[in-house]
């Protein structure tokens, strides 16, 4: 016995997706960390997620590492723990960068702002968001889970495998949020697509309490025009 809900309305039946078609406009994601035994772990090299075995193999060939199953319930169910901390990418202007602050609830964002005014919901857009003025207070509120944290998405292509499709960097680092305006200005100073480096930079220092702090931060450096770069290579 099977459901017959489309017997009387066949046009309502969802059309099958072609192989490797995604609901997103990008085919892979770059992440700088992962959760291991319920604890976040910062990685020395880029972690790439995808749902396309062909893309996964191409990324592994370009950046090293092997393709592993990650989460069969996810659309992007494959991961590559690459051997590469830095890679050249292509970004098409500041419009490819989405940067905001989000506090997540169990079912989605409960606070979304630019640090000064609400971005959503629509009826509150432009209203003061009430976030602390000092950066240190913003970070502490986010750490306690009572204030929004950075949500930065950068759409890009791999410079050395441009035709592989679009990827997305998903970052939550305050270190990137603090300089993302400089990155966007540098992107807009380039005519057309920009060649950039995307690097996980190692940071190590001893804080005022005498505790050694080690982490890696995502860094985007705009190198110049992608068109000029490929012309010089020919």
Calculate mean pLDDT across residues 15-44. 74
> Do 224 and 145 belong together in one domain?
no
> Do 139 and 215 belong together in one domain?
no
Record the tokens describing residue 44, joined without a space. 């020395």
The whole domain housing 134 covers 99-150
Q: What is the model's pLDDT at position 81?
A: 97
Q: Is residue 7 part of a domain?
A: no
Q: Is residue 3 part of a domain?
A: no
Query: Could you give the number of structural domains in the chain?
Result: 2
> Do 128 and 213 belong together in one domain?
no
pLDDT band at 93 (very low <50, low <70, confident <90, very high): very high
> Do 34 and 125 belong together in one domain?
no
Calculate mean pLDDT across residues 78-98. 97
Q: Which residues contact 35 (CB under 8 A, 6 or more apart)?
A: 41
> Do 157 and 220 belong together in one domain?
yes
Q: Cα–Cα distance between 44 and 33 in angstroms, integer?
A: 9
Indicate the average pLDDT of the chain: 89
Q: What is the model's pLDDT at position 79?
A: 96
Widest CA span in the chain = 71
> Do 124 and 225 belong together in one domain?
no
Q: What is the model's pLDDT at position 18?
A: 40
> Do 174 and 125 belong together in one domain?
no
Whole-prediction pTM: 0.84
> Do 162 and 111 belong together in one domain?
no
> Do 187 and 133 belong together in one domain?
no
Calculate mean pLDDT across residues 89-118. 94
Question: For residue range 170-220, what is the model confidence (pLDDT) as tens digits?
Answer: 999 999 999 999 999 999 999 999 999 999 999 888 888 888 888 899 999
Q: Is residue 66 part of a domain?
A: yes
> Do 91 and 104 belong together in one domain?
no
Q: CA Rg, the chain, in Å?
A: 20
Q: Which one of 135, 150, 165 terminates a domain?
A: 150
Q: What is the model's pLDDT at position 231?
A: 81
> Do 157 and 128 belong together in one domain?
no
Is pLDDT at 157 greater than 90 in this prediction?
Answer: yes
Q: Is residue 211 part of a domain?
A: yes
Q: What is the model's pLDDT at position 121?
A: 85
Q: Cα–Cα distance between 221 and 112 in angstroms, integer?
A: 27
Is pLDDT at 12 greater than 90 in this prediction?
Answer: no
Q: Is residue 6 part of a domain?
A: no
Q: Is residue 17 part of a domain?
A: no
> Do 146 and 160 belong together in one domain?
no
Q: Which residue has the higher pLDDT, 179 or 39?
A: 179
Q: What is the model's pLDDT at position 213?
A: 83
pLDDT band at 114 (very low <50, low <70, confident <90, very high): very high
Q: What is the model's pLDDT at position 44?
A: 94
Q: What is the model's pLDDT at position 1?
A: 40
Q: Is residue 118 part of a domain?
A: yes
């Amino acid at each position: 016995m099977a459901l017959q809900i489309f017997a009387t309305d066949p046009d309502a039946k969802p059309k099958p997706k072609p192989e490797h078609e995604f609901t997103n406009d990008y085919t892979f994601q770059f992440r700088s960390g992962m959760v291991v035994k319920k604890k976040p772990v910062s990685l020395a090299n880029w972690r790439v997620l995808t749902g396309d075995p062909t893309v996964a193999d191409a990324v592994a060939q370009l950046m090293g590492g092997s393709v592993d199953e990650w989460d069969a319930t996810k659309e992007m169910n494959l991961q590559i723990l690459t051997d590469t901390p830095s890679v050249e990418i292509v970004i098409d202007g500041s419009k490819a960068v989405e940067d905001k602050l989000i506090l997540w609830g169990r079912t989605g964002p409960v606070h979304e702002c630019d640090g000064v005014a609400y971005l959503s919901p629509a009826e509150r857009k432009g209203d003061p968001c009430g976030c602390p003025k000092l950066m240190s207070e913003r970070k502490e509120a986010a750490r306690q889970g009572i204030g929004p944290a950075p949500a930065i998405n950068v759409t890009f292509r791999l410079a050395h495998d441009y035709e592989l499709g679009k990827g997305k960097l998903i970052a939550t680092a305050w270190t990137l949020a603090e300089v993302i305006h400089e990155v966007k200005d540098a992107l807009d100073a380039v005519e057309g697509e920009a060649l950039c480096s995307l690097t996980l930079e190692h940071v190590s220092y001893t804080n005022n309490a005498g505790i050694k702090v080690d982490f890696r931060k995502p860094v985007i450096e705009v190198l110049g025009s992608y068109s000029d770069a490929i012309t010089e290579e020919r």
